[in-house]
Amino acid sequence: MKIAINGAGIAGPALAFWLSKSGHDVLLVEQAPQLRRGGYVIDFWGLGYDLAEKMGILPEILAAGYQVEEVRYVNRRGRKCGGFPVADLAAFTHGRFTTLRRSDLAASIYHAIEPRVETLFGDSIATIREDQHGLEVGFDRSAPRRFDMVIGADGLHSRVRRVVFGPESDVEFSLGCHVAAFETEGYRPRDELVYVSHNVPGRQVSRFSLREDRAMFLLLFRDEFLDGMDPQSDTEQKAALTRVFSDAGWEWPRIREMLPSVADLYFDRVSQIRLPHWTRGRTALVGDAAACVSLMAGEGIGLAMTEAYILAGELHHSGNDIATAFRRYEERLMPFLNRKQHSAVRFVSSFVPKTSLGICFRNVVTRLLGIPAVADRFIGQVVHDDFTLPDYGF
Protein backbone atom coordinates (compact mmCIF):
# COMPACT_ATOMS: atom_id res chain seq x y z
CA MET A 1 0.00 0.00 0.00
CA LYS A 2 0.96 3.64 -0.46
CA ILE A 3 1.13 5.26 2.98
CA ALA A 4 1.88 8.89 3.89
CA ILE A 5 3.22 9.70 7.36
CA ASN A 6 3.17 13.31 8.54
CA GLY A 7 6.00 13.90 11.02
CA ALA A 8 9.62 12.74 11.16
CA GLY A 9 10.23 12.86 14.90
CA ILE A 10 10.19 9.49 16.68
CA ALA A 11 6.86 7.78 15.95
CA GLY A 12 6.83 8.59 12.22
CA PRO A 13 10.24 7.12 11.31
CA ALA A 14 9.67 4.17 13.67
CA LEU A 15 6.40 3.39 11.88
CA ALA A 16 8.08 3.84 8.50
CA PHE A 17 10.72 1.31 9.58
CA TRP A 18 8.20 -1.45 10.25
CA LEU A 19 5.90 -0.60 7.32
CA SER A 20 8.79 -0.68 4.86
CA LYS A 21 9.80 -4.10 6.19
CA SER A 22 6.33 -5.29 5.19
CA GLY A 23 6.83 -3.97 1.66
CA HIS A 24 4.69 -0.84 1.85
CA ASP A 25 5.52 2.26 -0.20
CA VAL A 26 6.02 4.93 2.47
CA LEU A 27 6.29 8.71 2.15
CA LEU A 28 7.58 10.53 5.25
CA VAL A 29 6.66 14.23 5.37
CA GLU A 30 8.41 16.67 7.72
CA GLN A 31 7.62 20.34 8.11
CA ALA A 32 11.16 21.25 9.18
CA PRO A 33 13.81 21.66 6.45
CA GLN A 34 15.89 18.90 8.05
CA LEU A 35 15.82 16.57 11.04
CA ARG A 36 15.18 18.60 14.16
CA ARG A 37 18.02 19.09 16.63
CA GLY A 38 18.04 20.11 20.27
CA GLY A 39 15.08 19.50 22.54
CA TYR A 40 15.84 17.79 25.82
CA VAL A 41 17.51 14.64 27.11
CA ILE A 42 15.39 11.57 27.74
CA ASP A 43 15.76 8.42 29.80
CA PHE A 44 15.42 5.40 27.53
CA TRP A 45 14.38 1.99 28.81
CA GLY A 46 11.60 -0.58 28.69
CA LEU A 47 9.54 -1.08 25.55
CA GLY A 48 11.45 1.50 23.54
CA TYR A 49 14.77 -0.10 24.47
CA ASP A 50 13.45 -3.53 23.46
CA LEU A 51 12.20 -2.20 20.13
CA ALA A 52 15.49 -0.43 19.39
CA GLU A 53 17.15 -3.81 19.86
CA LYS A 54 14.66 -5.42 17.46
CA MET A 55 15.37 -2.67 14.92
CA GLY A 56 19.12 -3.22 15.13
CA ILE A 57 19.83 0.37 16.17
CA LEU A 58 20.61 -0.20 19.86
CA PRO A 59 24.43 -0.02 19.44
CA GLU A 60 24.13 3.41 17.78
CA ILE A 61 21.79 4.61 20.52
CA LEU A 62 24.07 3.41 23.31
CA ALA A 63 27.04 5.10 21.64
CA ALA A 64 25.11 8.39 21.62
CA GLY A 65 23.87 7.91 25.18
CA TYR A 66 25.20 8.87 28.59
CA GLN A 67 25.56 6.65 31.63
CA VAL A 68 24.27 9.24 34.10
CA GLU A 69 25.52 8.65 37.62
CA GLU A 70 23.32 10.88 39.74
CA VAL A 71 20.20 13.03 39.85
CA ARG A 72 21.07 15.86 42.25
CA TYR A 73 18.73 18.46 43.74
CA VAL A 74 20.41 21.63 44.99
CA ASN A 75 19.29 24.67 46.97
CA ARG A 76 19.77 28.36 46.14
CA ARG A 77 23.42 28.18 47.18
CA GLY A 78 24.08 25.10 45.05
CA ARG A 79 24.33 22.74 48.01
CA LYS A 80 22.93 19.25 47.61
CA CYS A 81 19.57 18.82 49.33
CA GLY A 82 18.23 15.67 47.67
CA GLY A 83 18.66 13.23 44.83
CA PHE A 84 19.60 9.65 44.14
CA PRO A 85 22.12 7.48 42.25
CA VAL A 86 20.76 6.60 38.81
CA ALA A 87 21.89 3.04 39.52
CA ASP A 88 18.83 2.82 41.80
CA LEU A 89 16.64 3.48 38.77
CA ALA A 90 18.65 1.39 36.29
CA ALA A 91 18.47 -1.61 38.64
CA PHE A 92 14.75 -1.91 37.92
CA THR A 93 15.57 -2.30 34.20
CA HIS A 94 18.38 -4.84 34.74
CA GLY A 95 20.83 -2.34 33.27
CA ARG A 96 18.85 -1.84 30.05
CA PHE A 97 18.82 1.93 30.48
CA THR A 98 20.54 4.95 28.96
CA THR A 99 20.07 8.71 28.73
CA LEU A 100 20.38 10.59 25.45
CA ARG A 101 19.21 13.59 23.51
CA ARG A 102 15.82 13.06 21.93
CA SER A 103 17.18 14.30 18.61
CA ASP A 104 19.98 11.70 18.69
CA LEU A 105 17.43 8.91 19.08
CA ALA A 106 15.36 10.36 16.24
CA ALA A 107 18.46 10.49 14.03
CA SER A 108 19.29 6.84 14.78
CA ILE A 109 15.81 5.71 13.72
CA TYR A 110 15.87 7.89 10.62
CA HIS A 111 19.28 6.59 9.50
CA ALA A 112 17.82 3.07 9.58
CA ILE A 113 15.04 3.97 7.11
CA GLU A 114 16.70 6.61 4.94
CA PRO A 115 17.76 4.24 2.12
CA ARG A 116 14.29 2.76 1.64
CA VAL A 117 11.78 5.52 2.49
CA GLU A 118 11.08 8.70 0.52
CA THR A 119 11.24 11.80 2.73
CA LEU A 120 9.74 15.17 1.91
CA PHE A 121 11.37 17.85 4.07
CA GLY A 122 10.07 21.40 4.35
CA ASP A 123 6.46 20.37 3.73
CA SER A 124 3.35 19.17 5.54
CA ILE A 125 0.07 17.44 4.82
CA ALA A 126 -2.56 20.19 4.57
CA THR A 127 -5.74 18.49 3.34
CA ILE A 128 -7.10 14.94 3.33
CA ARG A 129 -10.09 13.90 1.25
CA GLU A 130 -11.25 10.29 1.51
CA ASP A 131 -13.26 8.52 -1.20
CA GLN A 132 -14.13 4.91 -1.95
CA HIS A 133 -10.77 4.31 -3.63
CA GLY A 134 -8.44 5.89 -1.08
CA LEU A 135 -7.23 9.32 -0.02
CA GLU A 136 -6.46 12.48 -1.97
CA VAL A 137 -3.78 14.29 0.05
CA GLY A 138 -2.81 17.92 -0.42
CA PHE A 139 0.45 19.45 0.79
CA ASP A 140 1.60 22.95 1.65
CA ARG A 141 4.17 23.03 -1.15
CA SER A 142 4.09 19.82 -3.17
CA ALA A 143 1.53 18.62 -5.69
CA PRO A 144 -1.35 16.47 -4.38
CA ARG A 145 -0.90 12.69 -4.30
CA ARG A 146 -3.11 9.67 -3.68
CA PHE A 147 -2.55 7.21 -0.85
CA ASP A 148 -4.22 4.17 0.66
CA MET A 149 -3.58 5.38 4.20
CA VAL A 150 -2.46 8.52 6.06
CA ILE A 151 -0.78 8.55 9.45
CA GLY A 152 -0.52 11.57 11.74
CA ALA A 153 2.76 11.29 13.63
CA ASP A 154 3.12 15.05 13.93
CA GLY A 155 3.16 15.52 17.66
CA LEU A 156 1.15 17.25 20.35
CA HIS A 157 -0.09 19.92 17.93
CA SER A 158 -0.83 17.44 15.13
CA ARG A 159 -2.09 18.95 11.90
CA VAL A 160 -3.44 15.62 10.64
CA ARG A 161 -5.43 15.25 13.86
CA ARG A 162 -6.85 18.74 13.45
CA VAL A 163 -7.84 18.07 9.82
CA VAL A 164 -9.48 14.69 10.44
CA PHE A 165 -10.52 14.65 14.11
CA GLY A 166 -11.24 18.30 14.90
CA PRO A 167 -9.83 21.12 17.05
CA GLU A 168 -6.93 20.53 19.42
CA SER A 169 -8.81 22.26 22.23
CA ASP A 170 -11.37 19.43 22.24
CA VAL A 171 -8.79 16.75 23.07
CA GLU A 172 -5.97 18.53 24.93
CA PHE A 173 -5.73 17.90 28.67
CA SER A 174 -3.46 20.46 30.31
CA LEU A 175 -1.20 19.44 33.19
CA GLY A 176 -0.96 23.06 34.25
CA CYS A 177 2.68 23.60 33.33
CA HIS A 178 4.94 24.91 30.59
CA VAL A 179 8.35 23.59 29.55
CA ALA A 180 11.32 25.21 27.85
CA ALA A 181 14.56 23.59 26.71
CA PHE A 182 17.72 24.76 24.98
CA GLU A 183 21.42 24.05 24.55
CA THR A 184 24.45 26.29 24.98
CA GLU A 185 28.20 25.97 24.57
CA GLY A 186 30.91 26.58 27.14
CA TYR A 187 28.71 26.74 30.25
CA ARG A 188 30.37 26.24 33.63
CA PRO A 189 30.20 24.36 35.94
CA ARG A 190 29.70 21.05 34.13
CA ASP A 191 29.20 18.33 36.80
CA GLU A 192 29.82 15.52 34.31
CA LEU A 193 27.22 12.72 34.25
CA VAL A 194 25.10 14.45 36.90
CA TYR A 195 21.61 15.79 36.20
CA VAL A 196 21.45 18.88 38.42
CA SER A 197 18.10 20.40 39.34
CA HIS A 198 16.97 23.36 41.44
CA ASN A 199 13.42 24.08 42.56
CA VAL A 200 11.63 27.09 43.93
CA PRO A 201 7.86 26.91 44.48
CA GLY A 202 6.15 26.14 41.17
CA ARG A 203 9.35 26.21 39.11
CA GLN A 204 12.34 24.02 38.26
CA VAL A 205 15.67 24.73 36.53
CA SER A 206 17.79 21.75 35.45
CA ARG A 207 21.01 21.30 33.53
CA PHE A 208 22.97 18.41 32.08
CA SER A 209 26.39 18.49 30.44
CA LEU A 210 26.68 17.11 26.91
CA ARG A 211 29.66 16.22 24.76
CA GLU A 212 31.63 18.82 22.79
CA ASP A 213 31.44 21.27 25.71
CA ARG A 214 27.69 21.73 25.34
CA ALA A 215 25.04 21.82 28.05
CA MET A 216 21.28 21.27 27.99
CA PHE A 217 18.86 23.25 30.16
CA LEU A 218 15.29 22.27 31.00
CA LEU A 219 12.92 24.79 32.59
CA LEU A 220 9.53 23.80 34.03
CA PHE A 221 6.99 26.10 35.61
CA ARG A 222 3.33 26.19 36.52
CA ASP A 223 1.01 28.12 34.22
CA GLU A 224 -0.03 30.69 36.80
CA PHE A 225 3.38 32.35 36.49
CA LEU A 226 2.40 33.48 32.98
CA ASP A 227 -0.46 35.58 34.40
CA GLY A 228 -2.75 34.53 31.56
CA MET A 229 -0.30 35.39 28.79
CA ASP A 230 0.44 33.04 25.89
CA PRO A 231 3.88 33.97 24.50
CA GLN A 232 4.26 32.89 20.88
CA SER A 233 7.35 34.48 19.37
CA ASP A 234 10.91 33.60 20.36
CA THR A 235 11.33 37.08 21.86
CA GLU A 236 8.12 36.81 23.88
CA GLN A 237 9.03 33.37 25.19
CA LYS A 238 12.50 34.42 26.31
CA ALA A 239 11.03 37.48 28.01
CA ALA A 240 8.51 35.25 29.78
CA LEU A 241 11.24 32.93 31.05
CA THR A 242 13.27 35.89 32.30
CA ARG A 243 10.25 37.14 34.23
CA VAL A 244 9.08 33.76 35.56
CA PHE A 245 12.48 32.77 36.95
CA SER A 246 13.62 36.24 38.06
CA ASP A 247 13.85 35.21 41.73
CA ALA A 248 14.91 31.59 41.21
CA GLY A 249 18.41 32.03 42.62
CA TRP A 250 21.11 29.36 42.18
CA GLU A 251 22.70 29.76 38.70
CA TRP A 252 19.74 31.53 37.13
CA PRO A 253 21.51 34.92 36.64
CA ARG A 254 24.20 33.15 34.59
CA ILE A 255 21.65 31.12 32.62
CA ARG A 256 19.54 34.23 31.96
CA GLU A 257 22.53 35.98 30.38
CA MET A 258 22.70 33.25 27.73
CA LEU A 259 19.04 33.34 26.75
CA PRO A 260 19.24 36.12 24.11
CA SER A 261 21.79 34.11 22.08
CA VAL A 262 19.89 30.80 22.22
CA ALA A 263 19.06 29.80 18.63
CA ASP A 264 16.68 26.86 19.07
CA LEU A 265 14.45 27.45 22.07
CA TYR A 266 11.83 24.77 22.66
CA PHE A 267 8.83 26.24 24.50
CA ASP A 268 5.43 24.59 24.90
CA ARG A 269 2.58 23.62 27.17
CA VAL A 270 2.84 20.39 29.13
CA SER A 271 -0.30 18.60 28.01
CA GLN A 272 -1.77 15.24 27.17
CA ILE A 273 -3.93 14.24 24.21
CA ARG A 274 -6.98 12.20 25.15
CA LEU A 275 -9.05 10.83 22.29
CA PRO A 276 -11.89 8.27 22.29
CA HIS A 277 -10.41 6.80 19.08
CA TRP A 278 -7.06 7.09 17.32
CA THR A 279 -8.36 6.11 13.88
CA ARG A 280 -10.99 7.33 11.46
CA GLY A 281 -11.59 5.88 8.02
CA ARG A 282 -8.17 5.41 6.41
CA THR A 283 -6.38 7.80 8.79
CA ALA A 284 -4.65 6.89 12.06
CA LEU A 285 -2.63 8.73 14.69
CA VAL A 286 0.50 7.54 16.50
CA GLY A 287 2.77 8.92 19.20
CA ASP A 288 1.99 12.26 20.81
CA ALA A 289 -0.58 12.98 18.11
CA ALA A 290 -2.66 10.06 19.39
CA ALA A 291 -2.04 9.84 23.11
CA CYS A 292 0.64 12.21 24.35
CA VAL A 293 1.47 11.21 27.93
CA SER A 294 3.68 14.31 28.49
CA LEU A 295 7.26 14.45 29.73
CA MET A 296 5.94 13.81 33.26
CA ALA A 297 5.53 10.14 32.32
CA GLY A 298 9.24 9.77 31.57
CA GLU A 299 8.57 7.20 28.85
CA GLY A 300 6.76 8.99 26.04
CA ILE A 301 9.41 8.13 23.47
CA GLY A 302 9.26 4.41 24.15
CA LEU A 303 5.48 4.49 24.07
CA ALA A 304 5.51 6.26 20.70
CA MET A 305 7.80 3.54 19.33
CA THR A 306 5.44 0.93 20.75
CA GLU A 307 2.41 2.47 19.04
CA ALA A 308 4.30 2.50 15.74
CA TYR A 309 5.27 -1.16 16.10
CA ILE A 310 1.77 -2.32 17.06
CA LEU A 311 0.06 -0.39 14.24
CA ALA A 312 2.44 -1.76 11.61
CA GLY A 313 2.25 -5.22 13.15
CA GLU A 314 -1.54 -5.34 13.15
CA LEU A 315 -1.60 -4.19 9.54
CA HIS A 316 0.82 -6.99 8.67
CA HIS A 317 -1.10 -9.55 10.74
CA SER A 318 -4.47 -8.63 9.18
CA GLY A 319 -3.22 -8.96 5.62
CA ASN A 320 -3.52 -5.19 5.11
CA ASP A 321 -7.16 -5.08 6.20
CA ILE A 322 -7.17 -1.46 7.37
CA ALA A 323 -10.37 -1.59 9.43
CA THR A 324 -9.30 -4.73 11.29
CA ALA A 325 -5.77 -3.44 11.89
CA PHE A 326 -7.02 -0.12 13.22
CA ARG A 327 -9.48 -1.82 15.57
CA ARG A 328 -6.83 -4.17 16.97
CA TYR A 329 -4.35 -1.31 17.31
CA GLU A 330 -6.75 0.58 19.55
CA GLU A 331 -7.86 -2.49 21.51
CA ARG A 332 -4.28 -3.50 22.31
CA LEU A 333 -2.94 -0.11 23.31
CA MET A 334 -5.62 2.32 24.47
CA PRO A 335 -6.12 0.83 27.98
CA PHE A 336 -2.34 0.71 28.51
CA LEU A 337 -1.80 4.31 27.34
CA ASN A 338 -4.72 5.51 29.45
CA ARG A 339 -3.04 4.07 32.55
CA LYS A 340 0.24 5.76 31.62
CA GLN A 341 -1.50 9.10 31.20
CA HIS A 342 -3.19 8.95 34.58
CA SER A 343 0.08 7.91 36.21
CA ALA A 344 1.87 10.91 34.67
CA VAL A 345 -0.60 13.36 36.21
CA ARG A 346 0.48 12.24 39.68
CA PHE A 347 4.10 13.18 39.00
CA VAL A 348 3.52 16.88 38.35
CA SER A 349 3.91 17.60 42.05
CA SER A 350 7.29 15.83 42.06
CA PHE A 351 8.70 17.89 39.20
CA VAL A 352 7.31 21.27 40.26
CA PRO A 353 6.05 21.24 43.86
CA LYS A 354 3.85 24.23 44.60
CA THR A 355 5.33 25.04 48.00
CA SER A 356 8.65 25.02 49.85
CA LEU A 357 7.24 22.25 52.06
CA GLY A 358 6.46 20.21 48.95
CA ILE A 359 10.02 20.67 47.70
CA CYS A 360 11.39 19.51 51.07
CA PHE A 361 9.14 16.44 51.03
CA ARG A 362 10.25 15.52 47.50
CA ASN A 363 13.91 15.92 48.49
CA VAL A 364 13.49 13.70 51.56
CA VAL A 365 11.81 11.00 49.49
CA THR A 366 14.65 11.00 46.95
CA ARG A 367 17.17 10.52 49.76
CA LEU A 368 15.27 7.39 50.86
CA LEU A 369 15.29 5.68 47.46
CA GLY A 370 18.11 3.41 48.61
CA ILE A 371 15.52 1.62 50.76
CA PRO A 372 13.97 -1.14 48.58
CA ALA A 373 10.37 -0.56 49.71
CA VAL A 374 10.61 3.18 48.99
CA ALA A 375 12.33 2.60 45.65
CA ASP A 376 9.67 0.11 44.61
CA ARG A 377 6.92 2.59 45.50
CA PHE A 378 8.36 5.60 43.71
CA ILE A 379 10.53 4.10 40.94
CA GLY A 380 9.27 0.59 40.35
CA GLN A 381 5.76 1.73 39.44
CA VAL A 382 7.15 4.17 36.86
CA VAL A 383 9.60 1.77 35.23
CA HIS A 384 7.33 -1.27 35.13
CA ASP A 385 5.35 -1.79 31.90
CA ASP A 386 2.31 -4.06 32.15
CA PHE A 387 2.46 -4.71 28.42
CA THR A 388 4.18 -7.41 26.36
CA LEU A 389 5.27 -6.76 22.79
CA PRO A 390 3.65 -9.24 20.37
CA ASP A 391 5.81 -11.02 17.80
CA TYR A 392 4.50 -10.13 14.35
CA GLY A 393 7.16 -12.07 12.48
CA PHE A 394 8.78 -9.06 10.82
CATH of the domain at 20: 3.50.50.60
What interhelical angle do 102-113 and 46-55 show, nearest 10?
Answer: 30
In a domain, 265, yes or no: no
Which residues make beta-bridge pairs with 173? 272
Query: How sure is the predictor about 227, in pLDDT bands with cuts at 50, 70 and 90?
Result: very high
Cα–Cα distance, 163 to 277 (Å, whole number): 15
In a domain, 19, yes or no: yes
Residue 44: domain span: 2-66+97-171+272-348
Chain segment 348-382, per-residue pLDDT in tens: 988 999 999 999 999 999 988 777 777 777 676 67
DSSP 8-state secondary structure symbol assigned to residue 314 = H
Cα–Cα distance, 301 to 103 (Å, whole number): 11
User: Does residue 93 sit in helix, strand or coil?
Assistant: helix
Amino acid at 180: A
Q: What pLDDT, on the 0 to 100 scale, is given for residue 380?
A: 66
Q: What pLDDT, on the 0 to 100 scale, is given for residue 296?
A: 87
Closest residue by Cα to residue 293 from 303, 281, 278: 303
Query: How sure is the predictor about 388, in pLDDT bands with cuts at 50, 70 and 90?
Result: very high
If one counts the domains in the chain, the total is 1
**What phi and psi values does residue 346 have, to the nearest 5 degrees?**
-70, -20
Cα–Cα distance, 329 to 82 (Å, whole number): 41
In a domain, 62, yes or no: yes
Q: What pLDDT, on the 0 to 100 scale, is given for residue 381?
A: 66
In a domain, 38, yes or no: yes
Cα–Cα distance, 392 to 322 (Å, whole number): 16
Out of 103-112, 204-213, 283-292, 381-390, which region has the weakest mean confidence (pLDDT)? Answer: 381-390
Higher-pLDDT residue of 17 and 393 is 17
Which burial class, exposed, middle or buried, applies to 25 when counting CB atoms under 10 A from its CB (0-12, 13-18, 19+)?
middle
CB 221 within 8 A of CB 203: yes
Chain segment 44-53, per-residue pLDDT in tens: 999 999 999 9
Query: How sure is the predictor about 103, in pLDDT bands with cuts at 50, 70 and 90?
Result: very high
C-alpha angle 175-176-177 in degrees, rounded to nearest 5: 95
